[in-house]
A and B are shown apart, each in its own frame.
Chain A
Amino acid sequence: MSALYELTLAEVSLALAQRRVSASEVLDAQVARLGAVEPRVQAFLRIDEAGARAAATASDARRSAGQSLGPLDGVPVALKDNLLTRGVETTAGSRILSGYVPPNDATVTTRLKQAGAVILGKTNLDEFAMGSSTESCPFHLTQNPYALDRVPGGSSGGSAAAVAAREVFGALGSDTGGSIRQPAALTNVVGLKPTWGRVSRSGVIAYASSLDQVGPFGRTVTDVALQLKVIAGHDPADSTSSDAPVPDYAAGLTGSVKGLRIGLPREYEVAGMDPHVLASVKAAAKTLQGLGATLVELSLPHTGAALAAYYLIASSEASSNLGRYDGVRFGHRAEGVKTLRELYVKSRSEGFGEEVKRRIMLGTFALSAGYHDAYSVKAQQVRTLIRRDFEQAFGVCDVVLSATSPVPAWKQGEKLDDPLALYLMDVLTIPCNLAGLPGVSVPMAPTSAGLPTGLQVLGRPFDEQTVLNVAHAWERETSYFRRAPEL
């Protein structure tokens, strides 16, 4: 039998259900794995071994009594550190929240706990989820498990790396412009951004509320489906969460794409795209065609304006959402200030990092009187056009297929001084957020240098099932997900 940590979530879940292994033994294995690889990967900001131990013990007690809370019962997972955990420090990767211990759990945290999951710790991220490389954070960098001198992507780089490094069997991240799918692509794991409104945002430290959505990482599509089932569904604490019924996503994975129409948008072949990535997407389309799908070439004509609209909308909402970090009630508070203004200016100047400040300023500017129409209103108009592009596309196809990231993982520090180059990394993932659609990234052929790449599948609102199903068929056909990092 292979080492416990090598199992997928579904496999370890089965082992637990059959009582071939206890939750405590699984936790022991993962703690040992952490000891072996975490110093090099640094996926976590905080490991809550005591909390995890208690959860594992409780899970074992349930199993002994012949009870189970479902497939996640006793399974170690990790949470991005912008998801509230009661009694466990939650920082959103920012100095301004250093030492902040929330009084309550995020709804997704509660649901994982109610499903018996063992929360092993909080993972690293770009500060307030603003970034594509998990480099814009004040604490430490996270390394790509497949190439330790490279970035794991971002902003949910810690959760992606933790799953890729086999430290946990699943993890949650958040995706505002690609922050789940892009790191999944760069670390050879599966990452799903659900439809906006599918998963509660209550207890998610907001970056851009109209775009933020929590979603799962896993080694396989099934692993992601099992987690989605637990966290999805209406939440009275989030008025924008949908009450659409939550299907059993894992049971709905048929493995068949027969008769499915796959859209290939010509605008998603962007300049500067890695030739291997481009060729791999084309090959993937052919593979799916071979499995019985129909290919439809189509146009999403307003794609070119998406990036600009995204940075205006996301930054505007960020400038608003981050106003509450003022040093008055919680978080970092500057010392030795004499006036209210000084308290605000100094607390925020000390607490926020460069990228966060850049976006607060950009957003404040875009919302200001005199610029509001030229920027904010225009950006909303672009957003409407992008949504319509997809509505039209889904008239002729069932899913849209593309690369997740135009390039594989880059070297740490390589793009740090060039925010615009970093922003361009999100060009293929952003339109999906603007339109509120579900999207998944699933492992694709590695480059000759062995760097992972990702295939992105986008679907209709609340049609996570079809998106996962296409990814699942691809995964079964290709098995890139079996590849493991050499750590």
Chain B
Amino acid sequence: MPRADFQVVVGLEVHAQLLTRAKLFSSASTDFGQAPNTQTTPVCLGMPGALPVLNEKVVELAIRTGLALGCTVNQRSEWSRKHYFYPDSPKAYQITQWDFPICEWGEVSFEVDGRLKRARLRRIHIEEDAGKSVHDAADGLTLIDLNRAGTPLLELVSEPDLRSADEAIEYLKALREILVAIGVNDGNLEEGSFRCDANVSVMRHGSTTLGTRCELKNLNSFRFIKQAIEIEAERHVELIERGGVVEQQTRLFDPDRGETRAMRSKEDAHDYRYFPEPDLPPLLVSAETIEAVRRSLPELPRAKRQRYVEQLKLPPYDAQVLTADARLARLFDACVLQFPDAKKVSNWFQGELSRLLNSSGRGADQVKFTPAQFGALLRAVDDGTISNSTAKDVFAQVFETGKDPLAIVAEQGLAQSTDLGELERVVDEVLAANQKNVLGYRGGNLKLLGFFVGQVMKAMKGKGNPNPKTVNELLVKKLG
């Protein structure tokens, strides 16, 4: 099996749309799904005399991203023009950052098969998105929609540090998780707001020289990315095994046929004729701004998971589930402040809360109860005021109405009885009426305890709500 002799090498370029209301260089809205060419200004349309004016919000989001990924944020970066003729590029150039990007040298860490790995990020730069060409809209016409033209993008370029398709996928998932958690991107691959091109090559195991790479495009789901990388690596291996040479190319992934096809080779690659954008001054960012953004950064998912396991002593599985949704993790942190037994809170979050969120279709940031109410409810269970099953009913009401749980307990008479005299009388009655089972229990059939508990609880109906724990203890004592 020759495949085993080869090592796959992958580098990824991610384009992430930034969550801003206005475009990168114009006041036009970034709203999707609007009528074609309505979200435009003369700047988006490349009209004569129109000049770009930087949306400062974009810079903040780029710095946020750079800091979250451990990059150096350059206090001076520059804008460049990248030239190409295409109808959805209205100026015939894209404003991007070339020689001097805003962020450099960070890393993304991710887990593969339970092992922690890192890939270096070479650079993050800001650039504008193109419009859309709608082919064969009617009568073989191509129509242009420039609503998307000028939408702010971050391009995040990794080093070729990934060694399998699975690593590439985990890298992307970890990167996406961070971008979503810090509020810069919505992470949607299908709608193209998180896009990826993959540079794939192979080399023999033990080699230190990278093979010739091919750039894969049209990868709009994790499944396709994985497929495309594997198929492309296989193609390289077969070529080399047959004595061929891999040509540097840009290739298109065809998911229907399960193959990659050459789009263009190195020779006819675009000459983008970069030069510094004369319509924009260099982008200067003060050290104070960078520090202010740093202070505003939320705890990142990986750090959060680590804290949950190490400090809160949660099982890794719990940490994973709780941090999968940043809103859920925020609520969890607030609730743990009110009720410090993190494992109990975690159980409630994974059980009742998750069930109620699912059935109501609400997000964890839209719940009606306060963390203080949640804490009070768990304390009531803990001190025996209500039983666990009562607490679930109460919580459902709290979730629905936002009413105080202790008020519900009081109004509906749900507090557990502590009249031990009455309870002891009922226990004696039950034991007297079931002598055969008493003998059975004493003879070793300990499972019968459940039967006695059931009988006692039944007999106590209407006479207060005994705490099952107390009933248990009393029965064991009497039967012993």
**A323 B87 Cβ-Cβ under 8 A:** no
A97 to B273: give the CA distance in the assembly, Å.
25
**A240 B280 Cβ-Cβ under 8 A:** yes
Kindly identify, within residues 12 to 69 of chain B, every residue whose CB is under 8 Å from any CB belonging to chain A.
42, 45-54
**B87 A209 Cβ-Cβ under 8 A:** no
Residue of A nearest to B271 (CB): A369
Residue of B nearest to A208 (CB): B278
Contacts A209-B278, A326-B92, A329-B45; A201 near B51 (Cβ below 8 A): yes
**A376 B47 Cβ-Cβ under 8 A:** no
Indicate if A239 sits at the interface (CB-CB under 8 A): yes
Indicate if B93 sits at the interface (CB-CB under 8 A): yes
B304: min CB distance to chain A, Å: 39
Indicate if A92 sits at the interface (CB-CB under 8 A): yes
Chain A residues near B375 (CB-CB < 8 A): none
Contacts A320-B83, A320-B93, A340-B87; A239 near B49 (Cβ below 8 A): no
Kindly identify, within residues 177 to 207 of chain A, every residue whose CB is under 8 Å from any CB belonging to chain B.
201-206
**Size band of the A side of the interface?**
35 or more
**B49 A204 Cβ-Cβ under 8 A:** yes
**A323 B51 Cβ-Cβ under 8 A:** no
**B271 A368 Cβ-Cβ under 8 A:** yes
Indicate if A32 sits at the interface (CB-CB under 8 A): no
A276 to B47: give the CA distance in the assembly, Å.
46
A100 to B280: give the CA distance in the assembly, Å.
26
Indicate if B413 sits at the interface (CB-CB under 8 A): no
Indicate if A102 sits at the interface (CB-CB under 8 A): yes
A115 to B157: give the CA distance in the assembly, Å.
51
Residue of B nearest to A340 (CB): B87
**A324 B48 Cβ-Cβ under 8 A:** yes
Instruction: Give which listed residue, A90, A102, A203, A239, contacts B279 with CB less than 8 A.
Output: A239
Number of A-B contacts (CB under 8 A): 94
Indicate if B334 sits at the interface (CB-CB under 8 A): no
B234: min CB distance to chain A, Å: 33
A320 to B281: give the CA distance in the assembly, Å.
18
Kindly identify, within residues 78 to 94 of chain B, every residue whose CB is under 8 Å from any CB belonging to chain A.
81, 83, 85, 87, 90-93
**B271 A320 Cβ-Cβ under 8 A:** no
**A104 B42 Cβ-Cβ under 8 A:** yes
**A237 B91 Cβ-Cβ under 8 A:** no
Chain A residues near B45 (CB-CB < 8 A): 329
Which among B47, B81, B144, B278 has the greatest number of chain A C-beta atoms within 10 A? B278
B379: min CB distance to chain A, Å: 57
Chain A residues near B87 (CB-CB < 8 A): 326, 328, 340
Indicate if A354 sits at the interface (CB-CB under 8 A): no
**B92 A323 Cβ-Cβ under 8 A:** yes
Indicate if A316 sits at the interface (CB-CB under 8 A): yes
Chain A residues near B53 (CB-CB < 8 A): 236-239
**A368 B278 Cβ-Cβ under 8 A:** no
Q: What is the total number of residues of chain B having a CB less than 8 Å from a CB of chain A?
A: 29
A324 to B51: give the CA distance in the assembly, Å.
13
A43: min CB distance to chain B, Å: 22
Chain B residues near A328 (CB-CB < 8 A): 87, 90, 144
Instruction: Give which listed residue, B54, B90, B273, B274, contacts A324 with CB less than 8 A.
Output: B90
Residue of B nearest to A204 (CB): B49
Chain B residues near A205 (CB-CB < 8 A): 48-49
A297 to B144: give the CA distance in the assembly, Å.
60
Contact with B along A123-163 (1 / 0, CB 8 A): 00000000000000000000000000000000000000000
**B51 A237 Cβ-Cβ under 8 A:** yes
Indicate if A210 sits at the interface (CB-CB under 8 A): yes
Chain B residues near A202 (CB-CB < 8 A): 49-51
**A203 B278 Cβ-Cβ under 8 A:** no
Contacts A323-B83, A367-B273, A369-B271; A203 near B49 (Cβ below 8 A): yes
A453 to B42: give the CA distance in the assembly, Å.
41
Residue of A nearest to B49 (CB): A203
Chain B residues near A206 (CB-CB < 8 A): 48-49
Kindly identify, within residues 259 to 290 of chain A, every residue whose CB is under 8 Å from any CB belonging to chain B.
none
**B49 A323 Cβ-Cβ under 8 A:** no
B13: min CB distance to chain A, Å: 20
Chain B residues near A324 (CB-CB < 8 A): 46, 48, 90-92
Instruction: Give which listed residue, B50, B144, B271, B278, contacts A317 with CB less than 8 A.
Output: B278
Contact with A along B248-284 (1 / 0, CB 8 A): 0000000000000000000000010111001111000
**B275 A102 Cβ-Cβ under 8 A:** no
A201 to B42: give the CA distance in the assembly, Å.
14
A188: min CB distance to chain B, Å: 31
Instruction: Give which listed residue, B49, B83, B91, B144, contacts A106 with CB less than 8 A.
Output: B49
Chain A residues near B85 (CB-CB < 8 A): 323, 326, 344
Indicate if A364 sits at the interface (CB-CB under 8 A): yes
A239 to B50: give the CA distance in the assembly, Å.
12
Chain A residues near B280 (CB-CB < 8 A): 239-240
A376 to B142: give the CA distance in the assembly, Å.
36
Chain B residues near A209 (CB-CB < 8 A): 278-279
**B278 A240 Cβ-Cβ under 8 A:** yes
A173: min CB distance to chain B, Å: 15
Kindly identify, within residues 56 to 107 of chain A, every residue whose CB is under 8 Å from any CB belonging to chain B.
84, 90, 92, 97, 100, 102-104, 106
A364 to B272: give the CA distance in the assembly, Å.
10
Residue of B nearest to A83 (CB): B49
**A240 B279 Cβ-Cβ under 8 A:** yes
Contacts A104-B42, A209-B278, A320-B275; A92 near B54 (Cβ below 8 A): no
Interface pairs (8), CB distance under 8 Å: A92-B48, A102-B49, A103-B47, A106-B49, A205-B49, A238-B53, A240-B278, A344-B85
Which 7 pairs, one residue from A and one from B, show the smallest C-beta to C-beta distance?
A323-B92, A210-B278, A209-B278, A367-B273, A203-B49, A324-B46, A205-B48
Beyond contacts A240-B281, A317-B278: 4 other A-B pairs, Cβ-Cβ < 8 A, are A102-B49, A208-B278, A239-B53, A320-B93
